[in-house]
């Protein structure tokens, strides 16, 4: 091992997590299938204080007709935070943020759906956040992935997502709001990511903050492990559903 000249600079200011979790420990997670009786498939995913509901309608014929793709089906995601899901009320309706999250969620889910079997159709995925404490896009993806399975949509595998973070120099799993606002040292870096449960491929990756290349590598590797825990719960919940 190379000797480092200044050991002090390698020490992270963030050694203990605000809520006492271990660095790789997720918040308590739970899930439920069939929460929206009208939908073809639905699921609720709870990650600490963050609660997401997803409902799937389809596959159904895509209208207007000119929107159809004769070669494959389309996944259409609508991500929405309810106005009362956060501290200061947010204006209901579509925002630039929600448009972007809807799109990256589509990109995260589409690779597992066998869309080539469903030409000319659309699968509508509606994600609503009831209660937000960071990691809402990830909780939304986790719920949506289960809702797609519940709807009986042909899928290759499940998708599991987690918000990884770097607090000063420390990599942590499943960032909460308090950590998201961490401001000491190098501050907080937010890295939401989604893995396909079996093949281990990445289908969602975003980052904002500042992170060194080797720390980033550490984060995506730890993110894979965190997603395995999510996938386990998703699978167990789906199997136990009657």
Running DSSP on this structure, what letter comes out for residue 27? P
Q: Closer to another protein at the Cβ: 42 or 142?
A: 142
Q: Closer to another protein at the Cβ: 50 or 98?
A: 98
> In the complex, what is the shortest distance from the CB of residue 33 to another protein, in angstroms, rounded to a whole number?
25
User: Which residue(s) pair with 188 in the sheet?
Assistant: 167
Q: How far apart are CA 190 and CA 164, in angstroms?
A: 6
> In the complex, what is the shortest distance from the CB of residue 13 to another protein, in angstroms, rounded to a whole number?
17
Read off φ and ψ for residue 98, nearest 5 degrees.
Answer: -70, -30
> In the complex, what is the shortest distance from the CB of residue 37 to another protein, in angstroms, rounded to a whole number?
31
What is the token pair recorded at 46?
């709870």
Q: Closer to another protein at the Cβ: 129 or 164?
A: 164
Q: Closer to another protein at the Cβ: 85 or 102?
A: 102
Identify the burial level of 88 via C-beta atoms within 10 angstroms of its C-beta, where 0-12 means exposed, 13-18 middle and 19 or more buried: exposed
Q: How far from chain centre, in Å, is Cα 94?
A: 19
What is the token pair recorded at 62?
């895509």
Residues 206/212/215/221 CA torsion (nearest 10 deg): 40
Tell me if residue 234 falls in helix, strand or coil: helix
Pairing of strands 29-33, 121-131: unpaired
Q: Closer to another protein at the Cβ: 20 or 70?
A: 70
> In the complex, what is the shortest distance from the CB of residue 50 to another protein, in angstroms, rounded to a whole number?
21
Q: Closer to another protein at the Cβ: 107 or 241?
A: 107
Binding site for another protein (CB under 8 A): 96-97, 99-100, 102-104, 107, 110-111, 191, 196, 199-213, 216-217, 220-221, 224
> In the complex, what is the shortest distance from the CB of residue 218 to another protein, in angstroms, rounded to a whole number?
11
> In the complex, what is the shortest distance from the CB of residue 146 to another protein, in angstroms, rounded to a whole number?
19
The length of the chain in residues reads 242
């Amino acid at each position: 091992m190379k000797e480092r000249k200044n050991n002090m600079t390698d020490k992270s200011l963030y050694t203990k997590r605000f809520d006492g979790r271990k660095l790789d420990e997720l918040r308590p997670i739970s899930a439920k299938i069939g929460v929206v009786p009208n939908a073809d498939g639905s699921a609720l995913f709870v990650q600490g204080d963050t609660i997401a509901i997803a409902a799937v309608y389809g596959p159904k014929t895509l209208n207007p007709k000119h929107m159809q793709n004769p070669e494959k089906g389309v996944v259409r995601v609508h991500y929405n935070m309810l106005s009362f899901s956060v501290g200061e009320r947010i204006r209901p309706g579509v925002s630039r943020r929600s448009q972007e999250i809807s799109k990256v969620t589509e990109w995260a889910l589409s690779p597992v759906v066998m869309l080539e079997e469903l030409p000319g159709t659309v699968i509508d995925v509606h994600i609503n956040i009831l209660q937000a404490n960071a990691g809402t896009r990830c909780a939304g993806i986790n719920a949506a992935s289960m809702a797609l399975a519940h709807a009986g949509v042909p899928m290759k595998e499940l998708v599991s997502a987690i918000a990884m973070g770097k607090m000063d120099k420390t990599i942590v799993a499943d960032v909460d709001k308090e950590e998201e606002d961490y401001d000491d040292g190098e501050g907080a870096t937010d890295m939401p990511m989604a893995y396909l449960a079996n093949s281990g491929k990445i289908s969602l990756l975003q980052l904002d903050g500042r992170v060194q290349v080797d720390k980033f590598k550490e984060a995506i590797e730890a993110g894979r492990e965190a997603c395995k825990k999510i996938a386990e719960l998703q699978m167990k919940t789906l199997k136990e559903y009657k």
